[in-house]
Amino acid sequence: MKVKEEEKYKGKGIRKCKICGTSRGLIRSHNLYICRRCFREVAKSLNFRKYG
Q: Write out the residues near Zn ion by the rule CB under 5 A.
A: 17, 19-20, 35, 38
DSSP characters for the chain?
Answer: -THHHHHTTTSTT----TTT---TTEE-GGG--EEHHHHHHHHHHHT-----
Q: Could you tell me the smallest distance in angstroms from the CB atom of residue 45 to Zn ion?
A: 14
Q: Could you tell me the smallest distance in angstroms from the CB atom of residue 29 to Zn ion?
A: 15
Closest to Zn ion by CB, 11 or 17: 17
Q: Could you tell me the smallest distance in angstroms from the CB atom of residue 3 to Zn ion?
A: 26
